[in-house]
Structure 1
């Protein structure tokens, strides 16, 4: 969980990661195709309605949150510096905590994990990403948000070496921008994309607390598996620009398989302290490690860590632990 700011859901059935929270939603059945959907949820010809009092209040609240964090020197966008040096040993430790542990038990809602190691979770099929916008999203946000998602998707593809593209048809990674006034559309839309999702797990979307800034849910291609086949990110439109961009970075990256947070990870967005707003060089290394072809979905920590150690040493230009 990232300072209580953002929440993410991801795993075969999904993790809730709240910046991130982690817990299973439901096993993914095979052979179920998502319903076709246009790139935006709002009919183009309909004029935008004025935001409700609740939406305006959230806009003010998140504006205060961002200002407070910035005043305290947080939400850094510099990616780190001499004050955040790290070694390959630290990189391995952080990878183990973020990629090989879970914040919440699979299939148990928001029950905290016992801390037992999990397994490698990642995509092996091409990621086809799209954006959708609820009717309550301000029109002047849409082009910028689309551009930021497209830019970050291209960056994720460069970093991981995995095919990630923006598409208008047949997506498997849905990025939903929703306002408070669109809250009633979220659970039905998720159910359209993943018809066999556990209905009980969708209750979190019926009344999202304001402490949940954004969410990502990733589903495996087979029941109980670790090979992702569908992901859905939900980002609130009431965020001011930096918090909204921070949500894009963290949730989209977590939906690639970095599902947990660690208080020791630095410089990193996978940390609850909100020190960094955007993906850092350290985080890019975590993604490079995860998408090393030697790491397979479902690999245990015992199987994965020797590979992780070698890759970390390569990335840091060392010959062994330091």
Structure 2
């Protein structure tokens, strides 16, 4: 199946939004305990306390707009409105195992998101294509066509990529994620977290928020506290697909209060 092909005649593609992570060096090998030093050092230095204004700013800047878009309006909330099932296409068992752990971690930390791996492509609404770095551009071309692939390569020069299509109600119908498997463990995890999370809706990268992985100058390799705030806000039932900025701002204070309590609990945060 190629990307962004409707599953039925009734489904019309109205948006293709792409997010990328630029090239990063592989700076660490796996530690004996199974952790990457490049990840654990970031976790030790992580900022975990944020004002309401800091959280809301990042949410609005990432949930609206798109770093690169081919069609459709981008001034509305976009999200899945139902279970998210992820299928990994690869013969690399080690990377598929890592990806499954990433998906499980996201599921544990986003309260109202039902997300899990699945064994069949037919039942999946998120497809993750795992490729060698040398095959990345060819894979992008097979997904989006030669002309769009050239545009993506020229403007973004991606190392990994995600995109989604939505329906007329701004509900995400299907997402595609492309990850490279041979650029090291840190790059793989960094890409996997960012692209999977962006495929759920917060597709816009921003250089003005220093705490989010959706900033091309920031590398994480794990699901940080700040981005947990963003995803939990997005998937709260009171934030609905199709909402405008004004509509979201009207409900954010109440939603943020509950999200703060959840993120504190799931991360065992202090006051």
**TM-score of the two chains, using structure 1 as the length reference:** 0.64
Provide the rounded CA distance (Å) in 2 between the counterparts of 1:273 and 1:182: 25
Match of 1:310 among 250, 254, 270: 254
Preserved CA contact (<8 Å) 2:205 2:216 = yes
Provide the rounded CA distance (Å) in 2 between the counterparts of 1:262 and 1:184: 24
- Structure 1 position 14 matched with structure 2 position 28: no
Preserved CA contact (<8 Å) 2:75 2:244 = yes
Match of 2:95 among 116, 140, 145: 145
Question: Which residue in 2 is equivalent to 1:237?
Answer: 181
Provide the rounded CA distance (Å) in 1 between the counterparts of 2:251 and 2:21: 27
- Structure 1 position 296 matched with structure 2 position 251: no
- The C-alpha deviation readout for 1:31-73, integer Å capped at 9, x for no partner, is xxxxxxxxxxxxxxxxxxxxxxxxxxxxxx96xx2349xxxx9
Cα pair distance change 1:262/1:204, threshold 3 Å: closer
Count of residue pairs brought into register by the alignment: 238
Provide the rounded CA distance (Å) in 2 between the counterparts of 1:79 and 1:258: 25
- Structure 1 position 218 matched with structure 2 position 137: no
**TM-score of the two chains, using structure 2 as the length reference:** 0.75
- Structure 1 position 119 matched with structure 2 position 76: yes
- Structure 1 position 201 matched with structure 2 position 158: no
Provide the rounded CA distance (Å) in 2 between the counterparts of 1:218 and 1:117: 12
Aligned with 2:259: secondary structure? helix
Question: Which residue in 2 is equivalent to 1:255?
Answer: 199
Q: CA RMSD in A?
A: 3.3
Cα pair distance change 1:292/1:155, threshold 3 Å: same
Deviation at 1:200, TM superposition (A): 4.0
Cα pair distance change 1:183/1:93, threshold 3 Å: closer
Cα pair distance change 1:85/1:216, threshold 3 Å: same
- The C-alpha deviation readout for 1:148-202, integer Å capped at 9, x for no partner, is 2111212222333222121122222111111144347525753xxxxxx677434
Provide the rounded CA distance (Å) in 1 between the counterparts of 2:142 and 2:69: 25
Cα pair distance change 1:128/1:208, threshold 3 Å: farther
Question: Which residue in 1 is equivalent to 2:114?
Answer: 163
Preserved CA contact (<8 Å) 1:262 1:272 = yes
Preserved CA contact (<8 Å) 1:172 1:231 = yes
Preserved CA contact (<8 Å) 2:58 2:212 = no
Provide the rounded CA distance (Å) in 1 between the counterparts of 2:172 and 2:139: 21
Aligned with 1:122: secondary structure? coil
- Structure 1 position 173 matched with structure 2 position 126: yes
Match of 1:285 among 229, 235, 246: 229
Preserved CA contact (<8 Å) 1:102 1:118 = no
Structure number, greater radius of gyration:
1
Cα pair distance change 1:117/1:88, threshold 3 Å: farther
Cα pair distance change 1:204/1:172, threshold 3 Å: farther
